[in-house]
A and B are shown apart, each in its own frame.
Chain A
């Protein structure tokens, strides 16, 4: 049986099916798109994409399709080549599953929106761009997908464009992503000049791989995946509707940067500088984000920071030279993070738009399904044994502990893990337990199947995904098999410490003591003072520099002072001085004549 033919056909079919709801309404006026059509399309695509994944698991088939070729210049050809290997074949079903659940949820969440069809079209466009990015074999096609997800992110974050914060958040997202794009273009240019190809499988690592293209790739990942330095856009992106946050900013778009690093991994293996940079950057990102999440009061911001923290953890894994483990974490993270966002969406809508966790409480009894799945998601996030998060997160921390790399990165990551537990427990306690702080007349109804079935589906995925994926995939690098007991249970101990501390501290909040100003609290609350300092300083420098060069230097100095006007002023001075030398006194004139004659005779003799 020709498995590769089936694999190819079904993958292309998946992609084509997704394009149909967008393409057909353009061709004929009577065919209209609707939210249910979009949701069903994605559901169908998901089921179809399961078959190629199964084929891959069963027989290890991988494929590389090369379609038309763009003869850019004679010696540099850019084909449309799609690579169906382990990464793309596994990510397709996961992405489609998560998207299906999110779209189904969005039919309830955005039901009162007049442009709901446009919203779904945007989400579908985003999904197509993301899948193009995943399945590309070629940095060119990847760049198409990369830019596509960037633009759709901008459009979706500013969905409620009447709100200024939404507009500025969208602009922030685009600007920070653009800075990352510089890195990607740098790498592409270097590759085009040096190795004359943009194909992924032709990227090899020589023993002395220059660091420049790798720095470009790391910059691209920093921009897209919100590592420290280019991170402010991710919390700001929570201005978009919850389905957008769930799809883009938790499971799919933000992992594009990490995915790029996974794809181009052969280039990184030999360059220890780049790997250490990834390691330290990831460690810093994960700790910083976790610190910021400790004091946030908006439920979506807490989950956003936790996404940022997990992305840092993925970067750490890349830095440990374990791309497959990073991919595993991407996959498991998609499930529980999307579910956390959907649960928060359900809570927000049911509380009539309330996003502040200080105004929620005791929801366990009022919204049982949502809050149970919320708890499952939080436990998976913390790395509770045998839920989805455990398989990837614990393995990462074990590898970090048993490697001979940076201790500082290790300490930061462990600290971040405990912080994860702290803010998760805080969120859970404040949202679900204790006395309720919601207003009395709240129309709370979570019994809509459009709400409960996606959330429960994703909960199922959060529980089982880790086990399923690790059971069927052979690791390409041997995981550490033996280690001392303390090392083995480090992650668990650290998490448990975090839980204990959080529970203890949350009891303290019920005793009425006036809190003193705490600089650590202020640091966490103001997100490390990063936004005010960097945003103001950078823009002011650039703008004043521009004004200095254009206006002061060129216009005023060159043109007025030194250039033409300066010359004119010089002539005026000369004319005035010369006029003063002609007073009209004949005696002076005759004296000048005599003196000049005398000088001529003396000097020319």
Chain B
């Protein structure tokens, strides 16, 4: 059974990525949604069922909106090409739909709860694999998107990701908010230099995968549990420290690279204020990364 779900997941992702027609993209997104639902609710725990329900409702709405925006565009321009999405309304609706799929503010409310309700590996898939198709769609339509809207959403994401993450003790929720924050960084640069979005996503996927897999090995789901895990696999705790700092974006670790390039590109595009604001807001997430690192590595 697990095999079917995994293959469906891969299938759905591949279909969306390689599509040129909006219907194909939508089909891929739907396959993804349906495939991951059983994986979320595998343990039949009420929390997991609730997470699955929330996930389904949100993603269904988002997919409907994707379809709606592509139909509006087809009505006005007469074609279903993904890269030719030129009608302004379509762009706006598509942006909100993709935001809902990804988890950008103000469409992020579902994400922490879903992640909290699912097991860690599923959470990993939710954070990395499930984000890939929407980002691809955003990448393909990036020339026509409204940069003001995206900038606002990005800044709010960074802010809310930071503030909410500060108040959490459950590790999965912290990772959810860190994901929201990183998505903000990805969204802010997409209209100026979409390649940087992709770079940011790849590196983020790598780092998050590391964190999720580490947490899965040491079976830590709360901060208090995290504090006693150093006895299990000590070198792993050490590398977890470095990975978390890399997520925070500290030079000379890898996580600094996308941030640096994004800030550079924003400054070149006369968006220095936005660059400053998003950097400052990332400081908030730095604090909870440090808290995670402290709990994992500072032995009592």
Contact = CB atoms under 8 A, between A and B. Distances in A.
Interface of A: 571-572, 574-576, 578-579, 582, 584, 586, 588-590, 592-593, 596-597, 600-601, 604-605
B234 interface: no
11 contacts: A572-B166, A578-B167, A584-B113, A589-B110, A590-B61, A592-B109, A593-B100, A600-B95, A601-B93, A604-B88, A604-B149
A601 B167 CA distance: 32
Contacts, number: 63
Contact of B163 (A571, A592, A593, A596): A571
B53 A586 contact: yes
B58 interface: yes
B282 interface: no
A599 to B, nearest CB: 9
Interface of B: 53-54, 57-58, 61, 65, 88-89, 92-93, 95-96, 100, 106-107, 109-110, 112-113, 146, 148-149, 160, 163-164, 166-167, 284
Contacts of B166: 571-572, 575
A596 B106 CA distance: 7
B37 to A, nearest CB: 15
A34 B149 CA distance: 97
A209 B92 CA distance: 80
B164 A579 contact: yes
Contact of B160 (A576, A578, A604): A578
Most buried by B among A571, A572, A576, A588: A571
Contact of A592 (B93, B95, B106): B106
A596 B113 contact: no
A604 B163 contact: no
B178 to A, nearest CB: 15
Contacts of B167: 575-576, 578-579
A575 B106 contact: no
A102 B184 CA distance: 91
A601 B106 CA distance: 14
Contact of A582 (B95, B96, B112): B112
A575 B54 contact: no
Contacts of A601: 89, 92-93
B95 A596 contact: no
A596 B109 CA distance: 12
Given A589-B58, A605-B89, A597 B65 contact: yes
A152 to B, nearest CB: 62
Nearest to B164: A578
B164 A582 contact: yes
Given A578-B160, A586-B57, 17 more contacts: A571-B166, A576-B167, A578-B164, A579-B164, A586-B110, A588-B109, A592-B107, A593-B58, A593-B106, A593-B107, A593-B109, A596-B106, A601-B92, A604-B88, A604-B92, A604-B148, A605-B89
B163 A575 contact: yes
Contacts of A590: 57-58, 61
Contacts of B95: 600
Contacts of B53: 586
B69 to A, nearest CB: 11
Contact of B96 (A574, A584, A596): A596
A64 to B, nearest CB: 71
A578 B93 contact: no
A579 B165 CA distance: 9
Contacts of A571: 163, 166, 284
Nearest to A594: B61
A593 B164 contact: no
Contacts of B106: 592-593, 596
Contacts of A584: 113
Contacts of A604: 88, 92, 146, 148-149
A597 B163 contact: no
Contacts of B148: 604
B108 to A, nearest CB: 9
Nearest to B160: A578
A596 B107 contact: yes
B149 A600 contact: yes
A593 B106 CA distance: 7
A588 to B, nearest CB: 8
Contacts of B96: 593, 596-597, 600
